[in-house]
């Protein structure tokens, strides 16, 4: 009995984790380069919208998925150029982009008609029949893109020259600049990766899980992603663990009433933010945070 319940909750947790995990890969990379990107919410939302719009126009959810990533990239381009080319405060840019995307998607949703569009399930025969963990092998197919994206992000940050420069830019932009690294260019590139990943995460949410677009569909998931990166202390492993924890908390909130367990739903919703704040306070002195996080770089300033 509990195996069935456990399997249901686990499967729901995985489904809710995946969009977070996609976006978290991007946010993690952007933060390592020194951009605390709060427009990840807007990027996810625009990706979700773009995926449904293109998916229903072309009739192919796969094309929609790609389009979601592209739309996320476009939003990231706007953010990157405003905050790392003409140097407007990155939080101001993020805030405005979130407002703009929320308004724009809600506006367009009311003026357009979309048909349902959803990607197919991929069931791995045999493995999917294992009790409890079998749900891992019965997901919408973009779920398995995570197997590609997560190692790729790790490899990019930790094993390439580009990633080394990226981390240098996030830790000490002045020193990086002196060695000839184009600081703001690296930060823009990092943001673009963040845009693609967040767009993909949003697209997974819309054409992957739901099949349509609702008003304010992401509902603050972008901010949970930021909390996850902080919770993971700016390491990819910890970030993904945070995503899974927060996804599981969300799944529990939905499942607990039917399982007959009394637990305060508000506490579960607030848990990611509470955990992130706790980690921030506890880890504040541990030097894990990129030193130049959210500090704009301009040559000649100390």
Partner 1 sequence: MTAPARRPLASYVVGNAGLRRPSADAWRTAGITVVCVLVACALAALLVAISGGSPTEVVDALVTGSVADSAGWSQTLVNAAPLLLVALGACIANRAGVFNIGQEGQLLIGAMLGCFVALRLQGPGWMVITVALVAAAAGGGAWSGISAAMYYTRGTNVVVTTLLLTFIAAQVVQFAVNSPSLLQETGIGNGPARPQSDAVPEYLRLASFGQYPDLTIGVGVILAVVATVVLAVLIARSRWGFRLNMLGLNPMAARHAGIRASRLGGSALVLSGAFAGLAGGVILLGTVFRLQPAISNNFGWDGLLVALVARSRPGLALPVAVLFGGLRAGSSYLAATGVPDYLVDVVQALLVLAFVVPPVLSALWGRRIRNRSAVPDTPARPSAAPAKEEVPV
Q: Which residues bind partner 1 (CB under 8 A)?
A: 36, 38, 82, 85-89, 91-92, 95-97, 99-100, 102-104, 106-108, 110-111, 184, 220, 223, 226-227, 230, 264, 266-267, 269-270, 273-274, 276-277, 280-281, 284-285, 293-294, 296, 298-301
Say which residues have a Cβ less than 8 Å from residue 255's Cβ, sequence separation at least 6. 5, 8, 9, 12
Whole-number minimum distance, CB 275 to partner 1, in Å? Answer: 10
Q: How far is CA 30 from CA 92, 127, 149, 162, 193, in A?
A: 17, 36, 15, 13, 8
Whole-number minimum distance, CB 258 to partner 1, in Å? Answer: 19
Whole-number minimum distance, CB 200 to partner 1, in Å? Answer: 23
Based on its alpha-carbon atoms, the radius of gyration of the chain, rounded to whole angstroms, reads 19
- Residue nearer to partner 1 on the CB measure, 10 or 280: 280
Of the candidates 11, 14, 1, 5, the one whose C-alpha atom is nearest the C-alpha of residue 204 is: 14
Whole-number minimum distance, CB 87 to partner 1, in Å? Answer: 4
- Residue nearer to partner 1 on the CB measure, 145 or 280: 280
Whole-number minimum distance, CB 106 to partner 1, in Å? Answer: 4
* 121 φ, ψ (degrees, to nearest 5): -80, 150
Q: How far is CA 38 from CA 30, 161, 185, 251, in A?
A: 11, 27, 19, 24
- Residue nearer to partner 1 on the CB measure, 105 or 153: 105
Whole-number minimum distance, CB 46 to partner 1, in Å? Answer: 13
- Residue nearer to partner 1 on the CB measure, 184 or 239: 184
- Residue nearer to partner 1 on the CB measure, 37 or 206: 37
- Residue nearer to partner 1 on the CB measure, 107 or 155: 107
Report the C-alpha gap between 251 and 255 in whole angstroms.
6
Report the C-alpha gap between 5 and 255 in whole angstroms.
9
- Residue nearer to partner 1 on the CB measure, 133 or 178: 178
Whole-number minimum distance, CB 120 to partner 1, in Å? Answer: 32
């Amino acid at each position: 009995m509990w195996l069935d319940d456990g399997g249901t909750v686990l499967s729901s947790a995985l489904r809710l984790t995946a969009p977070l995990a996609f976006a978290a890969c991007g946010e993690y990379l952007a933060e390592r380069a020194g951009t605390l990107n709060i427009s990840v919410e807007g990027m996810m939302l625009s990706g979700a919208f773009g995926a449904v719009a293109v998916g229903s126009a072309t009739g192919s959810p796969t094309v929609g998925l790609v389009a979601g990533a592209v739309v996320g990239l476009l939003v990231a381009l706007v953010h990157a150029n405003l905050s790392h080319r003409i140097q407007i405060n990155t939080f101001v840019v993020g805030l405005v982009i979130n407002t703009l995307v929320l308004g724009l998607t809600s506006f367009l949703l009311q003026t357009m008609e979309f048909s349902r569009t959803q990607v197919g399930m991929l069931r791995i025969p045999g493995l999917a029949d294992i009790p409890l963990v079998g749900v891992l092998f019965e997901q919408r197919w973009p779920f398995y893109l995570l197997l590609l994206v997560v190692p790729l992000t790790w490899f990019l940050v930790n094993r390439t020259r580009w990633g080394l420069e990226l981390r240098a830019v996030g830790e000490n932009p002045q020193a990086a600049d002196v060695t000839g690294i184009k600081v703001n260019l690296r930060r823009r590139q990092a943001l673009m990766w963040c845009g693609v990943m967040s767009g993909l995460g949003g697209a997974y949410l819309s054409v992957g899980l739901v099949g349509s677009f609702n008003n304010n569909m992401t509902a603050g998931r972008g901010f949970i992603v930021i909390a996850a990166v902080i919770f993971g202390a700016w390491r990819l492993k910890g970030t993904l663990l945070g995503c899974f924890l927060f996804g599981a908390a969300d799944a529990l909130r939905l499942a607990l009433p039917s399982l007959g367990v009394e637990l305060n739903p508000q506490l579960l919703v607030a848990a990611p933010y509470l955990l992130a704040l706790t980690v921030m306070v506890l880890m504040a002195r541990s030097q894990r945070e990129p030193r130049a996080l959210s500090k704009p770089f301009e040559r000649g300033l100390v």
